[in-house]
Amino acid sequence: MKPITQENSRLGFAGIGYMGLPIARRLLESGFKLTAYDRNHNKSEQLIQYGGKVAQSVSELSSSCDVVLSCLPSEEAVQDIYIGPDGVFANAHRGSLAIDLSTVYPGTSGQLSRQGSEHGVEVLDVTISGSTPAAEKGLLTLFGGGNKECFDAAESIFRVIAQKYFYLGPSGSGATMKLVVNTLLGIGMQAIAEAVALGEKAGLDRNRLLDVLSQTAVVAPAHVGKLQRAMKSDYSPQFPIRLMNKDFGLILDLAAAVGARMPAASAAFEINARQSDEGAEQDFSAVILQMEKPAHLDSNGNGRT
């Protein structure tokens, strides 16, 4: 596959959400020709001011582009976009490339690759690590799976949206690596939430606790900003808790399939789900709120959430 450039390629982008919007905007600002599609046309129309075009359907999008990128919130949304008579595969030109940036089960990525091949479309699973601020600044980290030649050909896209990008192996490898990374992201946030609640309940000043904790070596860079926002009680979504909740489900499904024991992930999933079930559109760091709630005593007099 020849290298993708601003001059020789037309991009399509499906899914103009929390991450899709800043990614698509950066591609437009770097000189790529890009057409956007979202079921909510108001979202895709936000890109017109940056020089983007808007497609009214998936078939219109895929038939007018050489490369289709997608950034979607669920397995069902991904399959709806790609599969069926109105989907990407049925309407894309043979020799086209699809780059799915969504977080899905690795087996789903493999399925998409096989079905794309039947229509002459190469498919890469290129998953994203980073939240909206990183996307806005082009500082994401990407994990790629699929054909290595196609991954290399798409480097001009990756350089615009990411600080680092890694090729991991065949189809599904990018999806697997994303679940590995989000295991640490989710468990780490739960550990921080518990530590913060412990310090508060033991009498430490909340803001001083959060500030000092954010400056210690034990807090990962991905979590530092969460502590700083928690000082202002700002849990507006950068990475929504409902999506972390979905990812925990994928992580535990993969663990069951490969025989990996995940006791910490299972416990973190439970707390994450409890906060997510409250229904507010919050950042996944809102598990701090769940742990700050008063503990109840069980029949043995031990505290529990």
| CATH number, residue 275 | 1.10.1040.10
- Are residue 17 and residue 164 in the same domain, yes or no? yes
Residue 145 has which token pair? Answer: 């799976």
Give a yes or no: residue 224 inside a domain. Answer: yes
Give a yes or no: residue 4 inside a domain. Answer: no
Last residue of a domain, one of 170, 200, 220: 170
Residue 263: other Cβ atoms inside 10 A? 7
Rounded distance between C-alpha atoms, residue 259 and residue 261, angstroms: 7
> pTM for the complete prediction?
0.93
| Cβ 68 vs Cβ 97: under 8 Å | yes
Query: Domain total for the chain?
Result: 2
- Are residue 209 and residue 238 in the same domain, yes or no? yes
| CATH number, residue 88 | 3.40.50.720
- Are residue 197 and residue 144 in the same domain, yes or no? no
Give a yes or no: residue 58 inside a domain. Answer: yes
- Are residue 155 and residue 191 in the same domain, yes or no? no
Rounded distance between C-alpha atoms, residue 242 and residue 281, angstroms: 8
Amino acid at 162: A
Q: Which residues are catalytic?
A: 178
Alpha-carbon distances, residue 13 vs 97, 129, 203, 214 (angstroms)? 12, 19, 50, 36
Residue 218: domain span: 177-304
* Angle (deg, nearest 10), helices 241-258 and 173-201: 120
Q: What is the pLDDT along the chain (305 residues), one digit of tens a residue?
A: 899 999 999 999 999 999 999 999 999 999 999 999 999 999 999 999 999 999 999 999 999 999 999 999 999 999 999 999 999 999 999 999 999 999 999 999 999 999 999 999 999 999 999 999 999 999 999 999 999 999 999 999 999 999 999 999 999 999 999 999 999 999 999 999 999 999 999 999 999 999 999 999 999 999 999 999 999 999 999 999 999 999 999 999 999 999 999 999 999 999 999 999 999 999 999 999 999 999 764 445 455 55
